[in-house]
Structure 1
């Protein structure tokens, strides 16, 4: 019997995160074999789920190989990554790119049969000439001046090399668009929640959206079916910032891109924001993701379209504390 055949259960990296913790809850009821949660953050004993083994560790740490070798999972779901834009560029690279390489090497050494990775639609890059919509066969260009997108592209280039060199480690790669749930709180939702929603003139700024519940369901399906492949992860349709403002009952003010770049330059120089003028393309050229392959080949149809995703976020999010 091969190592891959002898392995069982699933190990989730980044298991204490937004999606990781929800995926754990989906598996905690049992039926999927042993479940192991790995995260840099310690989960308090009172918050731990029955039927889940908890490991404290970091994906950049060489001891990750020892953990995966000891657990011997059949499947690894790799969710640990940098989410926030505008952090420490070197640290972000080490986590996203070098950390993923460490996960790949640990999986191969331990005889893991299936690796599921959440990449990002940002791997396509934010470019004026992006196809609309973007399909999985379109080139991954990232952005050299946008570390988040560049790192996601490098991760996918590495994954492609590993698919060629180590086909015994089957891969499922998801490229999510903007993930939104009632408890989402990040730089994207900050755009929605200001008293006045500001966008850019001369661009529609269409947001592809996917519900956190749909992301979890697609990941769980990948674990349970073992199906490999590369899939955009997006609900049907898009919403513009203007439409989002209207749905949220907020006024919308379009600002010329040059004015926005100047404002960010000044705010960044004053230390009031981590964003730079280069980040304007993050709003100006949103990647619009096609989900045909997700539905037809992978066999998962998102339950909520873009409008329903936003309305769920708007209607179910916790009330702000006074």
Structure 2
């Protein structure tokens, strides 16, 4: 067994449980979460904002922390979401420093770049993080990364490994992303045909596990090779492609939000209009982790296992990156 001792926040969640079970075969692992479920490793019931987090890290002699806890599906309580996402992360960082933890892995998101019409066709790690103030998840990921940059400067003893995943899919995916493909049609507001990049959930686990084992540092987009447009996804799934006017969809969402029939606000239509399309060159060349499934293969696996639709990824018309000369740059280290 490795001498590393790992604490995972959000350990009862989708990725947290899978990761904990993978790491537990190699090293001592504990988790914290506000909800406790049966798992192959101990999970303590604890809020990540709890001041006792540092005491738990000390008691368990934690050397490595993997911070996964965040609000993935924002609702109406922006203050609560900020407390968990931003203040909770600050508490995790402070607890790490107090307890003498030497390595932090954190899952940010491609959403930190923001959903903007002028995003480049492919986003590298050097592109600015702009987020979207009207979309809590995106805005909070940006704020968290700004905080991490401050801690890298003032607390260099805590090494940081940051992943920015794209859309995560797998056999049991049940998320806002997977729900987009489970209905009768594929939605493409305004006909922007903005591509999706996918990452297999086992590649998310594999990359984090690799990073912990190697004590790796830096910032990396976590994505499979290539991308699929809504038009191509609709063709592969044998579903209709629905392209309502943006103004109409916003009007419907405004009514739904006002009547409390849903939590999606009109401004969040940009989530489908301007997808951040992540370039994974640095992940492969600098970190040394190569995803086992391409974007199309990950989506095909998800379609078969989660949706019951058997598709051949080899028939997909995949959008590939034209890698700019300056896309592969020196990794950002803690």
Distance (Å, rounded) in 1 between the aligned partners of 2:124 and 2:307: 35
Describe how 1:10-159 pairs up with structure 2 within 5 A: 10-29=6-25, 31-32=26-27, 34-43=28-37, 47-49=38-40, 52-159=41-148
- Residue 172 of structure 1 is matched in structure 2 by 161
Q: Is the 8 A contact 1:8 1:72 kept in 2?
A: no
User: Which of 267, 291, 297 pairs up with 2:286?
Assistant: 297
User: Which of 180, 188, 191 pairs up with 2:180?
Assistant: 191
Q: Taking structure 1 as reference, are residues 148 and 54 closer, same or farther at Cα in structure 2, changes over 3 Å only?
A: closer
CA shift, 1:263, in A, is 1.6
Q: Is the 8 A contact 1:177 1:289 kept in 2?
A: yes
Q: Taking structure 1 as reference, are residues 72 and 318 closer, same or farther at Cα in structure 2, changes over 3 Å only?
A: farther
Distance (Å, rounded) in 1 between the aligned partners of 2:230 and 2:76: 25
Describe how 1:279-290 pairs up with structure 2 within 5 A: 279-290=268-279
**Segment drifting more, 191-200 vs 110-119:** 191-200
Describe how 1:207-286 pairs up with structure 2 within 5 A: 207-286=196-275
**Segment drifting more, 155-164 vs 57-66:** 57-66
Q: Is the 8 A contact 2:11 2:43 kept in 1?
A: no
CA shift, 1:318, in A, is 6.9
Q: Which structure 1 segments of 5+ residues have no match?
A: 1-6
CA shift, 1:87, in A, is 4.4
Runs ≥4 residues deviating over 4 A: none
Q: Which structure 2 segments of 5+ residues have no match?
A: 309-334
CA shift, 1:243, in A, is 1.6
Q: Taking structure 1 as reference, are residues 193 and 9 closer, same or farther at Cα in structure 2, changes over 3 Å only?
A: same
CA-to-aligned-CA distance 1:106-149 (integer Å, 9 cap, x gap) = 00001100000000011001101111211111110001111111
Distance (Å, rounded) in 2 between the aligned partners of 1:147 and 1:56: 25
Distance (Å, rounded) in 2 between the aligned partners of 1:312 and 1:85: 27
Number of paired residues?
307
Determine whether 1:200 maps to 2:189.
Answer: yes
CA shift, 1:27, in A, is 1.7
SS in 2 for 1:37: strand
Distance (Å, rounded) in 2 between the aligned partners of 1:87 and 1:314: 31
| TM-score (structure 2 length as normaliser) | 0.89
Distance (Å, rounded) in 1 between the aligned partners of 2:74 and 2:294: 25
CA shift, 1:283, in A, is 0.5
CA-to-aligned-CA distance 1:162-203 (integer Å, 9 cap, x gap) = 000000000000000111112111222221111122212341
| TM-score (structure 1 length as normaliser) | 0.92
**Segment drifting more, 140-149 vs 164-173:** 140-149
CA-to-aligned-CA distance 1:234-266 (integer Å, 9 cap, x gap) = 101111122212222211121121221112112
- Residue 312 of structure 2 is matched in structure 1 by none
